Amino acid sequence: MKAPPHRFSRRGRRLIDASPRPCYLSEHFARAHQSWHPELRPDGYVSLCIAENKRMADRLVECLDAYRQVPSSVLGYDDMIGNLEFRRNLAAFMSRSFLGRDIDAERIVVLAGAGSVLEILFYVIADAGDGVLVPTPSYAGFWPDLELRDGLTIVPVQCRSNDDFRLTPALLDEAMASAKVPVRALLFTTPDNPLGRVYTREELLEILEWAEGRDLQVVFDEIYALSVFGDRAFVSAASLRQDLSERVHIVWAFSKDFGASGLRCGVLISDNDDVLRAVNELAYWSVCSGYTQYLLSQLVADREVVDDYIMRMQDDLKHVYERVTQRLEAMAIAYLPAEAGFFLICDLREHLDAPTWNAERRLWRRILDEANINLTPGEACRIAEPGFFRMCYAAESEAAVQVAIERLGRVLRRRP
């Protein structure tokens, strides 16, 4: 007798059937255990596709090691949106280091990483079926964050290479007019991932005024706020006005600026009491562990240590960016200059055999197979045009990255 069909919920099935893991990530996990080593594996794999800064990891572990007197209170339930003392320490630290004005601890929510903050915040500020404008190129994770469980639709705002990927009110109008769903919000990242660009006060105000004129909620993702090494200083949305207003929210996390994505600690700042109350109702399912909160609270309150850490991290990023771009230039690999983050965009359009997404996939595969290096394809970042690749240069040792660029240059010189 034939077995009855396996019964499974539509929700569960939808999660399983949801967009498959992108190819570059599957290849990354398949190859990660065979990474490059100068003697043991000189042909080994070099990952240039994950936005992580591991260069300061030893220093951070050393700092955290000093806070071993963990109180037993971390074992119990606490405020689901974050321990109040931690939020006070965070408010003081974030205010003086990048927000540009004082923020009250009551305006802050702590959850398990920026991804959780985004998912819960958008659940609260929009309804299933609503649209959210996201300028592209973009961080690829916004799609699962907003679409998978929240049921929103991302409406891309396609910035173009011939205008230096600038976001303009005209492009926002164009995207808004083309949207097939009611647009409720704009999600804007500064410093930008993947362009590694910092936006000026004037640019931020222009975007904010545009969004306010259309009654949209605006979420500023400032997760790279401290990872800035160029001449232009970072400007936080918090510093634009004396208060954020009901419609503006800021997201940050320890994942990037502190290279601590595994600790899962993200932060929301909002002046909207209803939003904060609604987020509180969902926080229980995404709490940042008490132990993690304790460690990070000690760290951000340790002014001398944390300021020294940030200064060193920024100097180091500047140094590694200079070394990477020098090598790219020596190998005649075109790139777009960056001033923040730990990635840049390589412009490999001239190496495509046709101006198509299939040609981009073929080039990505050839680079992976022949050079054993993995770049993030522009398609994953929703870039409007094929041929751009993101290169993340701080998740591997400097020697490994230099070797990878040499290999990349050789593959590109060798036409297929």
Ligand X SMILES: Cc1ncc(COP(=O)(O)O)c(C=O)c1O
Which residues contact ligand X (rule: CB under 6 A)?
A: 51, 113-115, 139, 141, 189, 193, 221, 223, 253, 255, 261, 266
Residues facing 125 on adjacent strands: none
Secondary structure letter of residue 266 according to DSSP: E
Rounded to 5 degrees, φ, ψ at 360 are -65, -45
Closer residue to ligand X, CB minimum distance, 198 or 333: 198
Closer residue to ligand X, CB minimum distance, 81 or 114: 114
At position 165, the amino acid (one-letter code) is F
How near is the Cβ of 261 to ligand X at its closest, in Å? 4
Closer residue to ligand X, CB minimum distance, 223 or 403: 223
Distance CA 67, CA 56 (A): 18
- What pairing do the DSSP bridges indicate for beta strands 343-347 and 388-392? antiparallel
How near is the Cβ of 391 to ligand X at its closest, in Å? 15
Distance CA 94, CA 86 (A): 12
How near is the Cβ of 197 to ligand X at its closest, in Å? 12
Closer residue to ligand X, CB minimum distance, 174 or 291: 291
How near is the Cβ of 414 to ligand X at its closest, in Å? 32
Distance CA 147, CA 153 (A): 6
Asked if 282 and 120 touch (Cβ cutoff 8 Å), the reply is yes
Task: Count Cα atoms within 13 angstroms, Cβ side, for 374.
Answer: 24
Name the residue among 136, 140, 119, 122 with its Cα closest to residue 51: 140
How near is the Cβ of 118 to ligand X at its closest, in Å? 7
Closer residue to ligand X, CB minimum distance, 248 or 371: 248
How near is the Cβ of 188 to ligand X at its closest, in Å? 10
Distance CA 394, CA 79 (A): 35
Closer residue to ligand X, CB minimum distance, 220 or 327: 220
